[in-house]
Amino acid sequence: MRAASLSLPFHKFLSNPTLIVRSVTHTPSVLRTSISTGPCIAAISSIIRVSTMSAGAGSGDNNIGVVEFALSSSCRLKIQKGDITQWSVDGSSDAIVNAANERMLGGGGVDGAIHRAAGPELKEACYKVPEDRPGVRCPTGEARITPGFRLAASHVIHTVGPIYDVDKSPEASLKNAYRNSLVVAKEKNIQYIAFPAISCGVYGYPYDKAASVAISTVKEFANGLKEVYFVLFSDDIYDVWLEKAKVLVGN
C-alpha cells in the first residue's frame, strides 16, 4: 500500500473499494485528493489530476472533471465530461472543434449547440468561407477556422467527420479530421484545443473504434500544443474515451 496523488470522477471513488480517500482540497479550478491505493495504480500512473472545467469555462453539475495524461514532456491530454460550448482556457489561444457538416452552416448535435452559443456571427463567418465546390465549404476530413464570437474560447475549428456506413474509408477520414484540426490549430498559434467525439452522433461511428482513432491521432500529431482536451457530453462516450486513453497513452 502506498500513498498517491490521483484524482478521478467521484463515481469512480464510490465504486472502487481499493481507493481510500485521505484528504480533499478544492479551489475554483482544481480539486485534488490524496488517496491510498494498491498495485492497480500502475495501470493508470500517467493520470495526473482532475479539475473542474478549465479556467474561464464556468462551472456546474455537467462539468464532472478532468483526467489528465502526459503525451510528452510539454503536451497533456485531458479527458472530461461536460459541455464543450462552455470550455476555455485563456480566451486567446484556445479553440473548440465543431463536428460540422460540409456546408458549415449549423446542424444538429454539437454543431447546433456551438452555433447557438456562438451567436449568429458564427454563421455569418461561415458563409464567408469559400466553397470548395457548390454547397461544400469543408470537405470530409478537412478543417476550417473562424473566431469564436460569443463563446468563451477564442476560435472554432470546424471539421467534418465521416458518415460511418457511407464513407468508403471511415477510419482514414476520421483520422484526417483530427489531424487537420490539429494542423490548423498550430498554424494559427492555438495552444489549447478541445474536441468532441467526432462522428459519434447521427453519423454512427462506433464509440470504441472512434476513440481508438481519436486518441491515437492526437498522440501522434499533438506536438507543439500545450493541452488537448476531449470534452464529452455523454457518460457512455466519456467512459469509452477514458478507458481507451488508459490503454493507448497510460504508462
pLDDT at 251: 54
pLDDT digits (tens, 9 = 90+) for 128-149: 999 999 999 999 999 999 999 9
pLDDT at 19: 32
> Which one has a higher pLDDT value, 109 or 43?
109
Enclosing H/E stretch for 35: strand 31-37
AA letter at 123:
K
Spatial separation of the C-alpha atoms in residues 151 and 95, rounded to whole Å: 10
Question: Per-residue pLDDT for 10 more than 80?
Answer: no
pTM of the model: 0.78
Residue 105 burial (CB count, 10 A): 16
DSSP 133-186: BTTBSS-TT-EEEEE-TTSSSSEEEEE----TTT-SSHHHHHHHHHHHHHHHHH
pLDDT at 22: 30
Question: Per-residue pLDDT for 119 more than 50?
Answer: yes
Spatial separation of the C-alpha atoms in residues 250 and 68, rounded to whole Å: 10
pLDDT at 124: 98
> Between the CA atoms of 49, 245, 216 and 203, what dihedral angle is there, to the nearest 10 degrees?
-110
Q: What is the mean pLDDT of residues 181-207?
A: 98
pLDDT at 135: 96
Question: Per-residue pLDDT for 35 more than 90?
Answer: no
Q: What is the mean pLDDT of residues 12-37?
A: 34
pLDDT at 42: 36
pLDDT at 166: 98
Question: Which residue of the set 83, 90, 94, 111 is catalytic?
Answer: 111
Query: Could you tell me what percent of the chain has a pLDDT over 90?
Result: 73
Q: What is the mean pLDDT of residues 180-190?
A: 98
The reply to whether 132 belongs to the active site is: no
Identify the CATH assignment for 71-243 out of 3.40.50.880, 3.30.300.180, 3.40.220.10, 2.60.120.260: 3.40.220.10
